[in-house]
Amino acid sequence: MVFSRVQSLDWRLAFCAIAAIDLVSVAACRPSSQPSAQALTLRIGVQRTVEAPRVITNILYTDPLFAIDWHGRPALRLASDFTWQDEARTLQVSIRPGVQFHDGTPVTAEAVAEVLRQQERTGGFQFVTTVETPHEGVVLIHLSRPDAFLLDAVSGTPIVRVDQPDIGTGPFKLVSRDPAIRAERNGAYFRGAPGIRQVQVTSYDTPRMAWVAMMRGEVDMVTDVNRESVEFLRGAKRFDTYPFLRPFYIPLVFNVRNRILRNVEVRRALADAVDRDEIVRSAMRGHGQVAEDPLWPLNWAYTPAARHHSFDPGAAAARLDAAGFPISAAGADTMPSRFRIRCLFWNKDPQYERIALMLQRQFAAIGVDLELDPREQRLVEEGITAGDFDTYIYQLASGKSFDYTYRFWHADSNGVGAMQNTGYTGVNDVLDRLRASHADAEVRVAVADLRQRFYEDTPAAFIAWVEATRAVNSRFDVGDSTDPDMLANLWRWSVATPQQRAAR
**Among 123, 192, 151, which residue's Cα sits nearest to residue 493?**
192
Shortest spacing between CB 335 and other proteins, in angstroms: 6
Nearer to other proteins, 211 or 296 (CB): 211
Is 332 a binding residue for other proteins by CB under 8 A? The answer is yes
Is 30 a binding residue for other proteins by CB under 8 A? The answer is no
Is 243 a binding residue for other proteins by CB under 8 A? The answer is no
Is 504 a binding residue for other proteins by CB under 8 A? The answer is no
Is 395 a binding residue for other proteins by CB under 8 A? The answer is no
The number of angstroms, rounded, from the C-alpha of 502 to the middle of its chain's C-alpha atoms is 30
Is 48 a binding residue for other proteins by CB under 8 A? The answer is no
Is 241 a binding residue for other proteins by CB under 8 A? The answer is no
Q: Which of 21, 188, 236, 322 binds other proteins (CB under 8 A)?
A: 236
Q: Which of 16, 19, 24, 330 binds other proteins (CB under 8 A)?
A: 330
Q: Which residues contact 278 (CB under 8 A, 6 or more apart)?
A: 311, 358
Q: Angle at which helices 264-272 and 313-322 pack, to 10 degrees?
A: 160
Nearer to other proteins, 338 or 410 (CB): 338
CA atoms of 173 and 100, how far apart (whole Å): 12
Is 275 a binding residue for other proteins by CB under 8 A? The answer is no
User: Could you give the dihedral angle defined by the CA atoms of residues 231, 232, 235 and 240, in that order, rounded to the nearest 10 degrees?
Assistant: -90
Is 372 a binding residue for other proteins by CB under 8 A? The answer is yes
Is 373 a binding residue for other proteins by CB under 8 A? The answer is yes
**Among 94, 52, 74, which residue's Cα sits nearest to residue 154?**
74
Q: Which of 31, 333, 498, 499 binds other proteins (CB under 8 A)?
A: 333
Nearer to other proteins, 6 or 24 (CB): 6
Is 361 a binding residue for other proteins by CB under 8 A? The answer is yes
Nearer to other proteins, 68 or 225 (CB): 225
CA atoms of 198 and 495, how far apart (whole Å): 12
CA atoms of 228 and 282, how far apart (whole Å): 12
Neighbours of 415 (CB within 10 A): 12
Is 263 a binding residue for other proteins by CB under 8 A? The answer is no
Is 208 a binding residue for other proteins by CB under 8 A? The answer is yes
Q: How far is CA 77 from CA 2, 67, 169, 298, 344, in A?
A: 81, 7, 10, 21, 41
Is 1 a binding residue for other proteins by CB under 8 A? The answer is yes
Is 206 a binding residue for other proteins by CB under 8 A? The answer is yes
Number of chain positions touching other proteins (CB under 8 A): 42
CA-based R_g, the chain, Å: 29
Is 357 a binding residue for other proteins by CB under 8 A? The answer is yes
Q: Which of 55, 298, 318, 364 binds other proteins (CB under 8 A)?
A: 364
One-character DSSP codes across 411-458 = SS-TTS--S--S---TTHHHHHHHHH--SHHHHHHHHHHHHHHHHHT-
Is 358 a binding residue for other proteins by CB under 8 A? The answer is yes
Is 237 a binding residue for other proteins by CB under 8 A? The answer is yes
Is 360 a binding residue for other proteins by CB under 8 A? The answer is yes
Is 353 a binding residue for other proteins by CB under 8 A? The answer is yes
Q: Which of 111, 160, 260, 356 binds other proteins (CB under 8 A)?
A: 356
Identify whether 179 is preceded by a cis peptide bond (ω within 30 of 0): yes
CA atoms of 351 and 274, how far apart (whole Å): 16
Question: Residue 184 in 3-state DSSP?
Answer: strand
Q: Which residues contact 427 (CB under 8 A, 6 or more apart)?
A: 409, 410, 450, 453, 454, 457, 459
Nearer to other proteins, 198 or 347 (CB): 347
Instruction: List residues near other proteins by CB under 8 A.
Output: 1, 3, 206-208, 211-212, 215-216, 226-229, 231-239, 282, 330, 332-335, 347-348, 350, 353-354, 356-358, 360-361, 364, 372-374
